C-alpha cells in the first residue's frame, strides 16, 4: 500500500467501526430505502435543471424565467440536501467498497463541479435581467451555455452513479 493511501485506509477502518456505521449495516431495510430516496432526489435535481434550462433555451414559455427559477430552486436545493444525507448513509453502510472505488471518486468530483456550476447558473439568472435572457442577447447565450454545461455535469454524475450501482449488482 502506498503511503498516500494509508490515511484513507485508517479513516475507513475508523468509519466502519463507528456505532452509526454498524447501525446502518444492521438495519436491513435502511439501505434499500436510502437508495430509493437517493434515486428519487437525483431525478428531482435533473428535472429542476431541465425545466430551468428549457425556459432559458426558450423552449418553454409558460411562465417568466424569474418565476420559474424562484419556483424550482427550493426543490433543487432540497433534493440536493436529500442526496447528501442519503449518500452519507449509503457510504456509512459500505465505507470500504464505496470510498476506495475510483468510480465513486470521479462521481464526487463531477458532483462538486456540478454544484459549483449550478450555483453559478442560478447567480447568473438572478443577476441578469430575465428579459435579456429571453431575448437571446449575449446574457442569454451565456445562460444557455451555462445551463447546458450544468445539465451535462448532473447527467455525468448520474451516469457515474448508475455505473457504480450496476457494477455492485453484477460484481
Does the pLDDT of residue 29 top 80, yes or no?
Answer: yes
Dump pLDDT digits (tens) for 50-86.
999 998 888 877 788 888 888 999 999 999 999 999 9
User: Residue 25's pLDDT band (boundaries 50, 70, 90)?
Assistant: very high
Please name the helix (run of DSSP H) or strand (run of DSSP E) that holds residue 84, with its range, or none: helix 65-93
Dump pLDDT digits (tens) for 137-155.
656 788 889 999 999 999 9
Does the pLDDT of residue 166 top 60, yes or no?
Answer: no
pTM of the model: 0.83
At 171, is the secondary structure helix, strand, or coil? coil
Distance CA 32, CA 29 (A): 6
Full DSSP string of 111-152: HHHHHHHHHHHHHHHHHS-HHHHHTT-HHHHHHHHHHHHHHH
44 or 55, higher pLDDT: 44
Look at residue 22 in the predicted model and tell me its pLDDT. 94
DSSP type of residue 18: S
Amino acid at each position: 500500500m502506498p503511503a498516500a493511501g494509508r490515511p484513507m485506509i485508517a479513516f475507513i477502518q475508523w468509519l466502519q467501526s463507528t456505532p452509526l456505521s454498524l447501525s446502518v449495516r444492521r438495519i436491513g431495510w435502511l439501505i434499500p430505502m436510502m437508495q430509493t430516496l437517493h434515486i428519487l432526489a437525483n431525478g428531482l435535481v435533473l428535472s429542476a435543471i431541465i425545466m430551468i434550462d428549457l425556459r432559458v433555451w426558450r423552449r418553454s414559455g409558460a411562465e417568466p424565467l424569474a418565476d420559474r427559477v424562484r419556483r424550482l430552486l427550493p426543490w433543487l436545493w432540497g433534493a440536493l440536501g436529500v442526496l447528501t444525507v442519503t449518500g452519507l448513509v449509503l457510504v456509512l453502510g459500505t465505507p470500504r467498497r464505496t470510498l476506495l472505488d475510483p468510480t465513486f471518486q470521479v462521481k464526487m468530483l463531477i458532483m462538486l463541479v456540478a454544484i459549483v456550476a449550478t450555483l453559478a447558473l442560478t447567480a447568473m439568472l438572478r443577476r441578469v435581467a430575465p428579459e435579456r435572457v429571453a431575448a437571446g442577447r449575449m446574457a442569454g447565450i451565456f445562460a444557455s451555455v451555462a445551463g447546458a454545461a450544468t445539465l451535462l455535469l448532473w447527467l455525468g454524475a448520474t451516469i457515474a452513479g448508475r455505473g457504480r450501482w450496476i457494477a455492485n449488482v453484477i460484481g
